[in-house]
């Protein structure tokens, strides 16, 4: 019965194609727009200087490092993000990550590629998606960081290294006090195929940078496995 209904729906869609609407505001898309309308995209502004040299946190005045980076060491060289994790960008990531709108990886991934092109970073040997534990990936159905990395890889022509794995299930970082976030991640990651990244410069990819605890732990793991240097790129900065 269900198969018959699916065939009927497919036939109707072929005869009367559904009108494309923006996933955020439901306005009808024009012929040149895809997934999200230009009005919604224009509501998302890229981060601008002054930024923390290390983690990319927006600063009120031009300084070298933010307070967090002055107090603690991050294993990565630098981290940068497209925009603030708020308003339209936050909604976009929420729809992508928690409501299964996987097609939004195109929009978000291209924002990240825009940032990558603006930076005077070295050439990367690999892009590394931040991994989910197998249980959480099974629940969600996909790894959002991997989908973003696929878009970045296609646009930049940089290959993907999938040897960074999450071996320990952890609590959601957003639910924890800042002081417990590092402890929550201890021993959570492992590298397979170490030889592939030995002496390589890699770019770690994720959707949101908040305190840097996850990015820092992954970077530490990659460096201990032999990577020469690790940089971090995310869609949003919390």
pLDDT by residue (tens digit) across 25-69?
Answer: 888 888 777 788 989 988 999 999 999 999 999 998 877 899 999
Which of the following CATH numbers is that of domain 43-237: 3.30.70.3460, 1.10.3720.10, 3.40.50.2020, 3.30.465.10?
3.40.50.2020
Q: Where are the domains of the chain?
A: 1-42, 43-237
Give one DSSP letter per residue of the chain, joined into a string.
-HHHHHHHHHHHHHHSPPPPB-TTT-PBP-TT-BSB-HHHHHT-PPP-SSB-TTT--B-SS--SS-HHHHHS--SSS-EEEEEESSHHHHHHHHHHHHS--TTHHHHHHHHHHHHHHHS-PPPPSEEEEPPPPHHHHHHHSS-HHHHHHHHHHHHH-PPB---EEE-S----GGGS-HHHHHHHHTT-EEESSHHHHTT-EEEEEEEEESSSHHHHHHHHHHHHTT-SEEEEEEEEE-
Render pLDDT for 169-226 as a digit per residue (tens, 0 to 9): 665 655 555 555 666 677 789 999 889 999 999 999 999 999 898 999 999 999 999 9
């Amino acid at each position: 019965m269900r198969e018959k209904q699916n065939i009927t729906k497919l036939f109707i869609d072929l005869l009367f194609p559904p009108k494309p609407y923006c996933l955020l505001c439901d306005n009808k898309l024009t012929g040149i727009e895809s997934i999200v309308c230009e009005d919604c995209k224009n509501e998302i502004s890229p981060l601008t200087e002054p930024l923390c040299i290390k983690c990319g946190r927006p600063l009120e005045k031009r300084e070298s490092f933010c307070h967090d980076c002055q107090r603690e060491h991050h294993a990565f060289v630098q981290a940068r993000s497209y925009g603030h994790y708020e308003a339209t960008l936050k909604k976009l990531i929420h729809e992508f990550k928690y409501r299964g709108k996987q097609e939004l990886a195109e929009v978000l991934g291209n924002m990240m590629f825009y940032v990558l092109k603006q930076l005077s970073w070295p050439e990367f040997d690999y892009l590394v998606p931040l991994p989910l534990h197998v249980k959480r990936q099974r629940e969600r159905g996909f790894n959002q960081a991997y989908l973003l990395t696929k878009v970045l890889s296609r646009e930049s022509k940089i290959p993907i290294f999938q040897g960074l794995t999450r071996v320990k299930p952890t609590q959601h970082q957003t639910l924890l006090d800042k002081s417990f976030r590092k402890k929550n991640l201890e021993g959570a990651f492992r590298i397979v195929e170490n030889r592939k990244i030995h002496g390589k410069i890699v770019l770690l990819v994720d959707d949101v940078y908040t305190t840097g605890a996850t990015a820092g732990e992954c970077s530490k793991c990659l460096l201990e496995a032999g990577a020469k240097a690790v940089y971090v790129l995310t869609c949003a900065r919390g």
